[in-house]
Structure 1
Amino acid sequence: MLIGAYIARPSPLHRVPAGAKLILLAVACAALLAVRTPAGVGASVLAVVVLYAFGRLRPGEAWTQVRPLRWFVLVILVVQLLITDWVTAVSLTSRIVLAVALAGLVTLTTRTSELMAAIERGLSPLRRFGVDPARVSLVMSLAIRSVPVVAGIAQRVRDAQRARGQERSIRAFAVPLVVGVLRYADTLGEALHARGMDD
């Protein structure tokens, strides 16, 4: 699942226009930058939980949005604990998770085509400066769609590690992951080239 996997549900969030969601996402992420206290983090977590409830999304569907971050967040948390206090460390890592959860909420409740159309409309004034809104929205769409693909590759590599008893080997994880991602990139590049979009 993860980011980019739209789930059709009859919820209030699903009916909100894509453009409005993107604007609110930007505002919410900016607001998260101001969160510094445990009380603020708690209130932010509660707000995100309520939003997922409004979207009629299950806990498991919410978890898949942030699950790939768990090791990254753990490393960041440990580093922050070494150089700052625990309040700052928890605040920073929580804000990262919440921002990803909010982005996941937008993509779970909005079709990719609607997001692309909203981005094109938002960037249309930049045409006069040589920006092609259609290409920008295509790149962003590909980025969104690539996240679950890369996460899937990572999961398959991790499963293969466990089967071989090499769970603790960083090399056994990193090398197949890089090879898999590069193969996916080659396939994607060939598809774009076939459609005349390789410039």
Structure 2
Amino acid sequence: MSVLGLYVPGTGPMHRVPAGPKLLALLVLGAVLIIASHLWLSVGALVFALLLYPAVGLGARRAWRALRALWPFLLAIGLFQALFVGAWTEGARLCAQLAALVLLANAITLTTRVREMLGLFERLAGPLRHVGVSPDRVALVLSLTIRSIPMVAVALNSAREGYRARGIVGRPHLMVVPVIVHLLRMAEATGEALAARGIDEDERVERA
């Protein structure tokens, strides 16, 4: 994993599609799933996302890694809906919908270069230049936000492995501090990478 992204080099179908159409397709699919609020449509989207990984050359293992980091949240959502709302079908729909969108967003991250994502966001934020907002700053913030989601999954996996290596059972709350520490280290590494690429120097020049 690079500091600023999780791009996996390749020549698969998704690698050849520009970032714009991929993000637009994700946006449209997410809107359809939310508006329709249909169980089987969400399940179908999840099945499609799972089949997409091996179809585009990413491998099923990467899909499994994303779901493995996500399952505690899915379990919590499903149990909350079943116990407090009294609708297990609604919980299943929400879990399938969330898992499908996370898998698809992760697939976009794995098949899109950082500079391509930054270029897209910078073009979209171009009109903000007229009100004194720097498009390249907006692009950087948006790109880092999107790529922080897989970094959280990496932190969770690392904490879980340490949790199991120490033979601790039945106390998952002990993973909270290691996850926070891991994320802080990732944030520090990201800051150092940005400084090495001259981000701080560019900001001082702009202010001057």
**Against the structure 1 CA distance between its residues 193 and 153, is the aligned structure 2 distance closer, same or farther, given a 3 Å change threshold?**
same
**1:76 Cα deviation after fit:** 0.7
TM-score (norm 2): 0.80
**Against the structure 1 CA distance between its residues 36 and 137, is the aligned structure 2 distance closer, same or farther, given a 3 Å change threshold?**
same
**Against the structure 1 CA distance between its residues 161 and 52, is the aligned structure 2 distance closer, same or farther, given a 3 Å change threshold?**
closer
Percent identical among aligned pairs is 38
Aligned residues: 198
Find runs of 4+ consecutive structure 1 residues off by over 6 angstroms.
none
Confirm or deny that 1:174 pairs with 2:179: no
Structure 1 stretch displaced more, 133-142 or 94-103: 133-142
The code of the aligned residue for 2:168 comes to Q
In structure 2, which of residues 124, 142, 145 is the aligned counterpart of residue 143 of structure 1? 145
| Distance in 1 separating the partners of 2:141 and 2:190 | 12
Q: Per-residue displacement from partner, 1:93-114 (whole Å, max 9, x unpaired)?
A: 1111111111112112211211
**Against the structure 1 CA distance between its residues 193 and 94, is the aligned structure 2 distance closer, same or farther, given a 3 Å change threshold?**
same
Q: Are the counterparts in 1 of residues 70 and 153 from structure 2 also a CA contact under 8 Å?
A: no
| Distance in 1 separating the partners of 2:56 and 2:31 | 22
**1:81 Cα deviation after fit:** 0.8
Q: For residue 53 of structure 2, what is the aligned residue in structure 1?
A: 52
Q: Are the counterparts in 2 of residues 6 and 108 from structure 1 also a CA contact under 8 Å?
A: yes
Alpha-carbon RMSD across the aligned residues, in angstroms, is 2.7
Q: For residue 41 of structure 1, what is the aligned residue in structure 2?
A: 42
**Against the structure 1 CA distance between its residues 60 and 35, is the aligned structure 2 distance closer, same or farther, given a 3 Å change threshold?**
farther
Q: For residue 15 of structure 1, what is the aligned residue in structure 2?
A: 16
Q: SS of the residue aligned with 2:168?
A: coil
